[in-house]
Amino acid sequence: MLRRLHIREFVLVDELELEFGPGFTALTGETGAGKSILIDALKLALGERGDASVLLAGASRAEISAEFDTPPELLEWLDGQGFDPGDSVLLRRVIDAQGRSRGFLNGSPATLAQLRQAGSLLVDIHGQHAWQSLARSDAAAELLDAYAGAGAERQACAQAWRAWRDADARLRAARDDAGQLQREREALEIELAELDRLAPRDDEWEPLNAEHRRLAHAAELIEQLQAAGAWLDDDETGALRMLARAQQVLQSAAGIDAALQPLVEQLDQLRTLGAELGHEVAARLRQADVDPQRLAEVDARLSAWMAQARRHRIAPDALPAHWQDARARLQQLQQGADLDALAAAERAAQAALRDAAQRLSRRRAEAARRLAAGVRGLLQELGMKGGDFAVDLRALPHIQATGAEAVELLVAGHAGAELRPLGRVASGGELSRIALALAATTAAQQTVGTLMFDEVDAGIGGAVAHTVGRLLGALGTDRQVLAVTHLAQVAAAASQHLQVDKTSRDGQTLSRVTCLDDAARVREIARMLGGDAASEVALAHAREMLGAAAPAPSASPRRARRSG
């Protein structure tokens, strides 16, 4: 529900703040007084495009703020968009004299698209031109699906269509690329045949090089081990023999000087360590062997490894990873080239799409009959005697994301007239009444809390005007309704009444909005009836009309805090 609307320096308004209550609120005033200014201002707050022409003459900027109760379905959207949620939501729009525009939502900067998205969950504005959008099949389909409660079926159809589109695209791409993929696959198979024979392991390159070095220098290694053993353990010149002689000499000297005994012990430790080293060298020498066959095997593998690395222009140690990548790519090509599997997947997706579209079509067909009957009945009450209304479901050549049929609203304005598309209805008055009939019929399925009607009673009067007032009052029992009207019968059915008139200040014409009390409302209804509005007869007629309308009780009208 719209709680509050603040307007500053907009068109003919210098500053105005209005608080709104629930129920049906009528906006009335003399012709040219600016009755639609409030709706025009609200449209800007809801993200409609605007420029510097909307500024009050001489103003530097126009500013409009609209505060609504926050419906549950808007809370998740606000959180997902990064806006602070709360019990109320504030939409604000500023346009300066250069035509630059800024939008805000709950105090944070917002794009016009974000304002429009939020506004679509808050208010529906129905004017003579707003309903012309229903001439488009997509808009008519949205209305019908909402009335049918087919949101889940509509979403399932869209998801099935996207799944089929993706499967079809994969199949088409595979068919288009079949030749190129075949050539790539054959080249990769040849490449992998050589790599598979080599089968390079991740942990093989360094140990293979180390083994090759040992085998290639085996003779030199044996010679060096033999020399090292001789230097350690030769009977005459070996290090162990020299250490033993040194120990004997020091042992004799220690007999003279006991302080030399530690040196004797150290030499003994050196002899022990030297003996251990000799044993180790001897063991390594026994293990060392010249193995030409193994050397040839290792040399051949090392050569093959390096040849593959050169062929693929990579470092030798990167060859195992390249091999695995090539295997994965070949598997991908083999799967992608499986046209039979891709074709089967496309057929399955198409069958699922047909099933989803058929479920949506059944819901639409049943709802189309109910919607047509409801609107048709209201058209008779709204002065279009003999008028007809139908929902045409025309099968499409191919199923779309929105279903298997195009939805078109057809209207006949009077008895004997041919049903024609809604977009070809010439009379604005007829279009307004059709809009009201549609709104009244689909009201229970609408989720927005505020409905606004601009000149919905154009071209009608008498008993039909009473019916319009009754319908607007009925809509206001469970949601907020605001309507711009020039008919006393319609205004009398409202539970709240705002009057728009013009005033002059410092040579400038301004619009002013007043919340009417009971007495002022009688005078305004008398004026709208025509004749002498101040006469007792007109006033009595106005009181009688207000009493007969007896709108459903609601919160008292809230006053306008300031007006131009």
* pLDDT number for residue 168: 94
Q: Are 39 and 56 in contact (CB under 8 A)?
A: no
- Per DSSP, the three-state class of 412 is strand
Rounded to whole angstroms, the Cα distance separating 6 from 415 reads 46
CA-to-CA distance for 263 and 258, rounded, in angstroms? 10
Regarding pTM above 0.85, the answer is no
- Angle of CA points 527, 525, 458, to nearest 5°: 85
Domain coordinates of the chain in residue numbers? Answer: 180-336
The structure tokens 């695995």 sit at 324
Task: Give dist(CA 293, CA 311) in Å, integer.
Answer: 27
Q: What's the pLDDT at 68?
A: 92
Q: How far is CA 340 from the centre of its chain?
A: 35
Q: Say if CB 66 and CB 2 are below 8 A apart.
A: yes
pLDDT of residue 297: 82
The string of DSSP codes covering 261-317 is HHHHHHHHHHHHHHHHHHHHHHHHHHH----HHHHHHHHHHHHHHHHHHHHTTS-GG
The angle subtended at Cα 300 by Cα 288 and Cα 283, nearest 5°, is: 10
Angle, helix 178-198 to helix 319-336, in steps of 10 degrees: 140
Nearest-CA neighbor of 473 among 13, 22, 3, 16? Answer: 22
Please give the chain's pLDDT, 564 residues, in tens: 899 999 988 888 888 888 888 899 999 888 766 677 888 888 899 988 888 888 888 888 999 999 998 888 888 888 888 888 888 899 999 999 888 999 999 989 999 999 988 888 888 877 655 555 676 778 889 889 988 989 999 999 999 999 999 999 988 887 777 666 777 777 888 888 888 888 888 888 888 888 787 776 665 666 676 677 777 776 666 787 888 888 888 888 888 888 888 888 888 888 888 888 878 877 777 766 656 777 788 888 888 888 888 888 888 888 898 888 888 888 777 765 677 888 999 999 999 999 999 999 999 999 999 999 999 998 888 888 888 999 999 999 999 999 999 999 999 888 888 898 887 765 666 777 787 888 888 876 667 788 888 766 766 777 778 888 888 888 888 888 888 888 888 899 898 999 988 888 777 878 888 889 989 999 889 888 876 767 888 888 888 888 887 644 443 334 444 444
> Which three-class secondary structure state does DSSP give residue 178?
helix
Q: Kindly tell me the burial class for residue 42, based on how many C-beta atoms sit within 10 Å of its own C-beta (0-12, 13-18, 19 or more).
A: buried
pLDDT given at position 536: 85
Query: How far is CA 358 from each of CA 56, 165, 352, rounded to the nearest angstrom?
Result: 54, 18, 10
